[in-house]
Structure 1
Amino acid sequence: MGGHTIHLEPHRVTKRFRGPDGPAAARREWRALELLAGHAPGLAPAPLQAGLLPSAPVVAMSRLPGEPLRGQPLDERRLTALADAVRALHSAVPPEVLSRVPVRPGRPAELTSQVRSWASQRRAHASAEVTSAADRGLRWLDGSAFADGTAEAGEHPPEVFGAGDGNLANYLWDGARVRIVDFEESGRSDRLFELAEITEHVGSWVEYPLDADSFLRRFALTGAEHARLCEYRRLLALVWLFLLSPDEQGEARNPSGTVERQAARLVALLA
């Protein structure tokens, strides 16, 4: 198991990483904090101290003000501030620096392989609604740009620095602007994939739904980019259907009916 524990002080946050991926996650977190401190100061916590030994990786950073966007209604001001923060993150790292940043984990090829692994181990007692949506998603996947496990959706787009996690709990609103925390999955990425990560994360709709269309209108996307973004959203919606399926089988971490709602989201995106 991976993950981390967090120790909060008035002006300092200390993350201790655990599990097989702990050392790599700590390095990604520290790299992001250093890059953003140099190229977009104030957007993310300031790096304070790191201990990156494999046996006990730990990263300390400044504590930012604000409340997580997850779990609260997102009005026009918050949506605009969220889009501004995401745009600032994506454009923060100059291309010549970004080219030396490792690719983030969890890209489409990895997700496609993971979905197929989950599909081969599916339990027969999933509800008919969830089973039908998963079957439709898997049929779509077999005919998509991701079918061979290597292709991206469409032509390779310009790369950006991505947070790697679309959870709105990592976006803090202080009443005037949004700042970003949690970079353990960060790295070089595709802007459209990062936008899809935000719109399709369960945290963007299970409580107070993010208006995905309104959010995405705040980015200048071409028709081809919209089409590629749709493919990424479909892939991530399928991933989330499998991730949430244990909730249906007595291991609930989300409100009742979340898996069925995810199934409906996937079907709508595939329509």
Structure 2
Amino acid sequence: MVTTAAAGRGRMGERPSTHLLELRADVVIKRYRSWEHRQQEREWSALELLDEHASGLAPTPVSARLTADPPEVVMSRLPGRPLDGPVSSEQAGAVAAAVVRLQESIPRRVLADLPPRAGHPVELLEQVRGWCSKASSAESHPVAAKALTAGTDWAHRPGLTELLHRTDRPVFGTGDGNLSNYLWDGSEVRLVDFEYSGRSDRAYELAEAIEHISAREDGGVDLAAAFEQVELEASEAARSRECRRLLALFWLLRILGTRPDRSPVLIRQAERLLSLL
């Protein structure tokens, strides 16, 4: 039996651990430290839906104590290890295929009854605008200062709120693009961690997967290229571009808030945002 904090996994800029995992031979027991977004209900619902509509892609639900303190969900233990470090082209292709399968697995009639995923892009935009007004790059690299200025100007562009508020093709969203949520067993990828899952849209989900800081640090170009091969309609492509800019700015601000120095991570993220803008 091994008990370990699971969320964040020590990656720079991520939210503090929101749960504890108890790993047993055949099951995983997940206990939630935070449940203001009804994480335990979202996770249990996701496991049940995926077990019905995409069997084998995610853990099988075993039991749940959703009103306990702390809430608890028990699920099957999947083979494989979280992706961490450089991602090969084979792994990147498997990740993209698994994510698309997950997004498309839940019928639209069922999706319509699901709550929206936690963290709508318009909510993120409002958060980012607030951070921009308080952020300081005075002691950071000139490239970071340039990116912050450009990003702040973009975040206040007329019409951006309306564009981000629109949704196109509804899909099931995980609510978290962390690279460590993809388990690789040598040939296939399976997905874990559905605390923030719910109804979403493809443009935003793909943007989050591409621009998540864990993918930018460890995924390399192969993972981004694999997701960029997913077919989008013209309206989705335009919205996805703005979502990617939003998420790149979000991560720049997170880095500035935790490591306001001239670190290589800060400079790379600033360059990433500028390239998208």
Q: TM-score, normalised on structure 1?
A: 0.89
Describe the SS at the equivalent of 2:103: helix
Kindly indicate whether residue 182 of structure 2 is the aligned counterpart of residue 167 of structure 1: no
Describe the SS at the equivalent of 1:205: helix
Instruction: Determine the C-alpha separation between the residues in 2 that align with 1:129 and 1:62.
Output: 46
For each residue in 1:61-120, what CA deviation from the matched residue of structure 2 results, as whole angstroms up to 9, or x when unmatched?
111111222313322x22221121011101111111110000011111110111122123
The answer on whether the counterparts of 1:80 and 1:218 sit within 8 Å (CA) in structure 2 is: no
Kindly indicate whether residue 216 of structure 2 is the aligned counterpart of residue 205 of structure 1: yes
Kindly indicate whether residue 194 of structure 2 is the aligned counterpart of residue 179 of structure 1: no
Aligned CA distance change for structure 1 residues 8 and 181 (closer, same or farther; 3 Å)? same
Match of 1:48 in 2: 62
Instruction: Determine the C-alpha separation between the residues in 2 that align with 1:154 and 1:53.
Output: 33
Aligned CA distance change for structure 1 residues 45 and 145 (closer, same or farther; 3 Å)? farther
Match of 2:266 in 1: 259
The answer on whether the counterparts of 2:182 and 2:191 sit within 8 Å (CA) in structure 1 is: yes
Instruction: Determine the C-alpha separation between the residues in 2 that align with 1:112 and 1:13.
Output: 35
Which of these residues, 50, 75, 92, is aligned with residue 79 of structure 1? 92
Q: Which runs of 5 or more residues in structure 2 are unaligned?
A: 1-15
AA matched with 1:102: P
Match of 2:123 in 1: 110
Match of 1:12 in 2: 27
Instruction: Determine the C-alpha separation between the residues in 1 that align with 2:166 and 2:130.
Output: 27
Aligned CA distance change for structure 1 residues 60 and 154 (closer, same or farther; 3 Å)? closer
Instruction: Determine the C-alpha separation between the residues in 2 that align with 1:154 and 1:201.
Output: 20
Q: Which runs of 5 or more residues in structure 1 are unaligned?
A: none
Match of 2:275 in 1: 268
AA matched with 2:123: E
Describe the SS at the equivalent of 1:139: helix
Which of these residues, 106, 122, 126, is aligned with residue 93 of structure 1? 106
CA shift, 1:141, in A, is 1.5
AA matched with 2:21: I
The answer on whether the counterparts of 2:83 and 2:183 sit within 8 Å (CA) in structure 1 is: yes
The answer on whether the counterparts of 1:2 and 1:21 sit within 8 Å (CA) in structure 2 is: no
Match of 1:220 in 2: 231
For each residue in 1:38-74, what CA deviation from the matched residue of structure 2 results, as whole angstroms up to 9, or x when unmatched?
1111000001111111631111111111122231332
Instruction: Determine the C-alpha separation between the residues in 1 that align with 2:211 and 2:228.
Output: 16
Quick one: percent identity of the two aligned structures? 43
Which of these residues, 28, 46, 59, is aligned with residue 32 of structure 1? 46
The answer on whether the counterparts of 2:170 and 2:201 sit within 8 Å (CA) in structure 1 is: yes
CA shift, 1:225, in A, is 2.6
The answer on whether the counterparts of 2:20 and 2:31 sit within 8 Å (CA) in structure 1 is: yes
Instruction: Determine the C-alpha separation between the residues in 2 that align with 1:192 and 1:165.
Output: 14
Describe the SS at the equivalent of 1:211: helix
CA shift, 1:212, in A, is 5.0
Cα RMSD after superposing both structures: 2.1
For each residue in 1:21-51, what CA deviation from the matched residue of structure 2 results, as whole angstroms up to 9, or x when unmatched?
27x1111111110110111110000011111
The answer on whether the counterparts of 2:122 and 2:164 sit within 8 Å (CA) in structure 1 is: no
4+ residue segments displaced more than 3 Å = 123-126, 152-155
Aligned residues: 261
Instruction: Determine the C-alpha separation between the residues in 1 that align with 2:65 and 2:268.
Output: 42
Aligned CA distance change for structure 1 residues 37 and 167 (closer, same or farther; 3 Å)? same
AA matched with 1:19: S
The answer on whether the counterparts of 2:87 and 2:223 sit within 8 Å (CA) in structure 1 is: no
Aligned CA distance change for structure 1 residues 20 and 97 (closer, same or farther; 3 Å)? closer
